[in-house]
Amino acid sequence: MFDELSEKIKNARIIPVVKMDDTEKAVPLAKALLEGGISAIEITFRTTEGEAGYKKIAECIKKVSTEVPQMLVGAGTVINPSLAEKAVEAGAQFIVSPGFNPSTVDWCIAKNVPVYPGVNNPSLVEVALEKGLSVLKFFPAEVSGGTKMLKALAGPFPTVKFMATGGISEKNVKEYFGCKNLVAVGGSWMVSETLINEKNWQEITRLSKEALAALD
C-alpha cells in the first residue's frame, strides 16, 4: 500500500522534522533544504495554541506545497483524523503520527492518503500489517532500542520497512542506514528552531549537504 510515495521517501533518505508556524519562513526553509539536496519535509502539528496554532501550521504546509512543488511535503504529529483532514486539505502528501491511532489510520486508508503510524514493538507492527501497511515510523527510535531493535524486527517481519525518528543526529545517522529494513530517517538537527528563527538558511543548506554526505 502506498508504494509510490514510499519509494519517494526512500529516495529522499533524510526527512527533516520541522516545528514551524510562521508562514513567512516556510518557503525559504523549503528552498534551503532543496539547495542542500533534501527533497522531503515533515511539518509537525506541534502547538500549545489549539486550533489557532493548527491553522498556522496548516498554512505553512499549504505555502510549501504550492510554492515549492519540488518538495515532498508531509504532516507530522498527526494524532487524530481531524488533524489528518486539516493536513490533507492544506496539501500534505503523506501523514506521520507518533503512535498508532486506528482512527487516524482508517481515515487515511479510506481517503487513499499515505500514512506512516509510529510503532516501536512487534505487537504494533502486527496491528499495522493487519491494516495493510508495510512501511511504518519507528518512534522513538533511540530510546526504543535504536538499530538493535530495527535489526531484531527484521527477522519476524521481513517485508516491513521503517522510517526511524527520535534521537537521530549527524552522529548516528549512518549507523541507521546499515539496517536493511530502513527506508529513511527523520531528524531535526539541520532544522533547529534556533536556525529557523534566525533565518539562517545558509547554515541549514550546509547542514543538509553534510547530512547527506555522511551517508556515502
Q: Active-site positions?
A: 42, 137
Can you tell me the distance from the alpha carbon of 57 to that of 42, in angstroms, rounded to the nearest whole number? 11
Beta strands in the chain (DSSP E): 14-18, 40-44, 72-76, 94-96, 115-116, 118-119, 135-138, 161-165, 182-187
Q: Which of 4, 6, 25, 24 is nearest to 15 (CA)?
A: 6
User: Cis ω on the peptide bond leading into residue 122 (within 30° of 0)?
Assistant: no
Distance CA 87, CA 149 (A): 31
Give the list of residues 6+ apart from residue 35 with CB closer than 8 angstroms, or none. 205, 208
